[in-house]
Amino acid sequence: MVDKMDLTESLEDYLEIILKLQNENRVARSKDIAENMGIQRGSVTSMLKNLSEKELINYEPYGYITLTDQGKKVALEITRRHAILKDFLARVVQIDPDKANMMACRMEHNIDRESIDKLVRFVEFIDRCPRTGQDWIDSFVRFCASDPKDWQTCMNCLESCEIRHNLNKQD
């Protein structure tokens, strides 16, 4: 009921998935939740009761499931964190998209407001600062692609960057 409820990771996952299903199909159904989480149907029911007691979902036995306003608020917050983390891990750090997604799944429950805000600013800074931006990320991709034993590609990039850098110092 209060804003600062402390939900378990699992309960937050349920809310996230219910939001997704609700957006896709207007309502969520027990079976789809089970499928999305890769668990048995029976396990879902007790969690639904739990979420219902916390007034995070509207739930009647054998009925459809929707988020309450409060539940939607929490679900949106988790979903936002997930998207930010995944974008950062996959697009910036260049971690494999599926792995980035899995990591985001875990991290989204363990990052506080202040830290996620810092991360948002970090990504924003990389994207907007003229010293970095997409072409800098592209350089990083090349840096990663280069065989560790063959540093030539990387060295070429570093050199051309250094030339630029020195030019800047001279002006």
Q: Are 22 and 15 in contact (CB under 8 A)?
A: no
Smallest separation, CB 114 to its own copies (Å): 7
Task: Please name the helix (run of DSSP H) or strand (run of DSSP E) that holds residue 74, with its range, or none.
Answer: helix 69-87
Paired residues of 28 in beta bridges: 65
Q: Is 129 in the site for its own copies (CB under 8 A)?
A: yes
**Residue 103: contacted member of its own copies, DNA, none (CB under 5 to 8 Å, by partner type):** its own copies
If you ran DSSP here, which 8-state letter would residue 67 be given?
Answer: E
| C-beta of 49 vs 106, nearer to its own copies | 106
**Residue 19: contacted member of its own copies, DNA, none (CB under 5 to 8 Å, by partner type):** none
Q: What are phi and psi of 28, to 5 degrees?
A: -105, 150
Which distant-in-sequence residues (6+ apart) come within 8 Å of 100 by Cβ?
Answer: 85, 86, 89, 90, 93
Paired residues of 58 in beta bridges: 66
Q: What are phi and psi of 127, to 5 degrees?
A: -70, -35
Query: Residues touching DNA: how many (CB under 7 A)?
Result: 26
Q: Is 37 in the site for DNA (CB under 7 A)?
A: yes
| C-beta of 57 vs 116, nearer to its own copies | 116
Query: Residues touching its own copies: how many (CB under 8 A)?
Result: 41
Question: Which parts of 95-124 interact with its own copies (CB under 8 A)?
Answer: 95-96, 99-100, 102-103, 106-107, 110-112, 114-115, 118-119, 121-122
**Residue 129: contacted member of DNA, its own copies, none (CB under 5 to 8 Å, by partner type):** its own copies
Q: Are 14 and 47 in contact (CB under 8 A)?
A: yes
- Residue ranges binding DNA (CB under 7 A): 8-11, 29-32, 37-50, 61-64
